[in-house]
Amino acid sequence: MLILCMLFRLSSAQEFRCGVTVNYQKLQSTTQQYETGDIKIFETMKRAIEDFVNNRRWTNLELEYQEKLDCSISIILSERTSATDFKGQITIQLRRPVYNSNYTTGIFNYIENNDFMFSFNESQPLEFDPNTFFDNLSSTLAYYCYIMLGMYFDSFGPNGGEPFFDMARTITQTAGTTGYKGWRSNDSQKARYWFMENHTNSAYEALHSVYYYYYRLGLDMMTKDQPSARRNIIQALRYLQQVHKTRVNLLSVTQFIDVNMAEIVSIFTPAPQDEQQEVYNIIKDVSPINVTKLKDWRVK
């Protein structure tokens, strides 16, 4: 049965199946040298993040093990300014199974700039409440959990991710008053703020249809009816173009293309010429830099 039809089965599993890595090699290769025993804090940090993401209840849904969101979180530490204060880069990846196949597709793959600042104390558990700011690490992790849930459930049903994007908005508003970078619109064009804004602003409502048409009506249908599946993927790209025309260089549009471009090329390389032409025209409009990847197509 489809995952969408199985959401309410009873299960002890939580929503995420997340692998976590904490890389501290840059700290060892600089003047920031530490005792061997100090490595323990990084191992504790890894376990704390895994526990925070994988063992916390993020929704009221009951998911089977195979339904849990397959994701990964990687933190590369670049500075340690005190015993409990760190700076580095965080990468978030989310994958999704394709129905009736062994294929896994990407939904989200984002690398924050190397200025993610947070505190971590081994003796204190990571806590979270959407209306309370405990620390930047827990708020950032929770924010990305809800962004991933939003995208994931948008890909299974029309506007299925809405309540999760709303939670990401609450977290953003709460953390936005703290002074930490990434939570405000003026921090940068790739600030954390913008993923939330893109998915909660009614001007970009078609973005939610992008996920539904591309994944559920497109990829999930490939083994059953490839022509129809390709037409639905083209419709997803039309929705993406619609959002792009509303606002050029929208972060979520760029993110979608970055994650799915290779897959789009693979799907439409054997497709009829008229389909290739339309996909080419959309990509040329939305992401001109990627047109070179379509150079072997039969297009004008």
Q: Is pTM, for the whole model, over 0.95?
A: no
* pLDDT for 256: 98
* pLDDT for 35: 52
Q: Is the pLDDT of residue 115 over 90?
A: no
Nearest-CA neighbor of 230 among 277, 175, 179? 277
* pLDDT for 11: 38
Task: Kindly indicate the confidence band of residue 269, based on its pLDDT and cuts at 50, 70 and 90.
Answer: very high
Coil, helix or strand for 233?
Answer: helix
Task: Kindly indicate the confidence band of residue 284, based on its pLDDT and cuts at 50, 70 and 90.
Answer: very high
Overall average pLDDT of the 268-297 stretch: 96
Q: Where are any strands of DSSP class E within 178-266?
A: none
* pLDDT for 147: 98
**128-153 per-position pLDDT tens digit:** 999 999 999 999 999 999 999 999 99
Buried b (16+ CB within 10 A) or exposed e, 95-123: bbbbbeeeeebebbebebeeebbbebeee
Task: Kindly indicate the confidence band of residue 47, based on its pLDDT and cuts at 50, 70 and 90.
Answer: very high
* pLDDT for 9: 38
**158-202 per-position pLDDT tens digit:** 999 999 999 999 999 999 999 999 999 999 999 999 999 999 999
Rounded Cα distance between 238 and 144, Å, is: 27
Rounded percentage of the chain residues whose pLDDT exceeds 90: 84
**Residue 296 CB: number of other CB atoms within 10 A?**
9
Q: Is the pLDDT of residue 287 over 50?
A: yes
Overall average pLDDT of the 204-208 stretch: 98
* pLDDT for 63: 87
The domain segmentation of the chain, as residue ranges, is: 1-7+16-200, 206-300
Joined together, the tokens standing for residue 94 give 């989310």
Q: With DSSP H G I counted as helix, E B as strand and the rest as coil, what are the percentages for the chain, rounded to 5?
A: 50, 15, 35
Joined together, the tokens standing for residue 281 give 């025209």
* pLDDT for 4: 39
Overall average pLDDT of the 39-52 stretch: 95
